[in-house]
Amino acid sequence: MFTIKEYTAEQLQDPFGLLLGERYEFHLYIEVEEDDELYTGNDLALRLVYIKGEDNTSIAQTHFYEVSTNKVLDFDLEEEEEEAVKEFCGKHLPSEEGTNNEE
């Protein structure tokens, strides 16, 4: 598991109205323990698209990456991590201008 240190969030625009629900891009800047398989010694982040539908939410297009190098890491969210991230994103939806916050 990881700890979210800070984040950015931005609502994605759908100019043609083709997509169902509202979509938000989040960058979660995270801290992991040294004994975690995600640990690289560099600052890490998780980029994801959060989808808010009329009666459900979901996460799409996730990837972990090293902040300094932009190198994508080949890891998936574990089930409990996905639930925690979904809850976090639901509580931190941005306004029209976007959001940049520390936790």
Q: How confident is the model over 58-97, as pLDDT tens digits? A: 998 999 999 999 999 999 999 999 999 999 999 999 875 5
The answer to whether the CB of 48 falls within 8 A of the CB of 62 is: yes
Q: What is the span of the domain harbouring residue 66?
A: 2-102
Res 8: pLDDT: 97
The answer to whether the CB of 87 falls within 8 A of the CB of 81 is: no
Model confidence, pTM: 0.87
- Tens of pLDDT along 2-31? 999 999 999 999 888 777 889 999 999 999
The answer to whether the CB of 66 falls within 8 A of the CB of 43 is: yes
- For residues 49 and 56, give the distance between their C-alpha atoms in angstroms, rounded to a whole number: 14
Res 99: pLDDT: 57
In total, how many domains does the chain have?
A: 1
The answer to whether the CB of 48 falls within 8 A of the CB of 85 is: yes
Q: Residue 20: which residues within 8 A CB-CB, separation 6 or more?
A: 53
